[in-house]
Amino acid sequence: MTTNVERYQRIAPVYDLLDLPFERRRYRALRPLLFRGMSGRLLDAGIGTGRNCEFYPPAAIVSGIDTSTAMLARAHDRCPTLAAGGRLYQMDVTALKFPNGSFDAAVATFLFCVLPDQLQLPALGELGRVVKPGGTIRLME
């Protein structure tokens, strides 16, 4: 059985092409809404190929995580500010290596729909742990 990490390692070079019809018709209009009103330190959980990067608030300090090094390589090219700041991390959303309350907000786009059922609550719990009390977590699935 192929794991999610193995699958995304394999399809990373063509992921954006495979997703292009959905991106053009639906997702591109929704992405800016995820970041409306956000500021401060933000976590992009499951950054993938970096499709959210162009919508980050200008003054925000964003960190991105993904389990796939191949997807992170694509995000590295698409998100030069994060790459230059050393804020792209290979990390599992169910075991985040950030201290409690590290972020003002977190977003995840199309992450939870690919997580196995048994990992969804632990992942959401980890996002809740690393976002400051009263902070925002927004999901697009």
Q: Which amino acid, one-letter code, is at 37?
A: G
CB contact burial 115-132 (16+ within 10 A = b; e otherwise): beeeeeeebbebbeebbe
**Rounded distance, CA 4 to CA 126, Å?**
19
**What value does the CA radius of gyration of the chain take, rounded to a whole number of Å?**
14
Average pLDDT of span 59-77: 95
Q: DSSP letter for 64, please.
A: E
Predicted local distance difference test score (pLDDT) of residue 4: 77
pLDDT, one tens digit per residue, over 49-58 is 999 999 999 9
**Strands in the chain per DSSP E:** 41-45, 61-66, 88-90, 103-109, 131-140
Residue 42 has phi, psi (to 5 degrees) of -120, 145
Domains recognised in the chain with CATH numbers: 4-140 (3.40.50.150)
pTM of the model: 0.90
Residues 6+ apart with CB under 8 A from 64: 43, 44, 47, 50, 72, 75, 79, 82, 87, 88, 89
The least confident of 12-16, 61-65, 103-107, 118-122 is 12-16
pLDDT, one tens digit per residue, over 1-43 is 568 778 777 777 777 677 766 777 888 888 899 999 999 999 9
Mean confidence (pLDDT) of the chain: 91
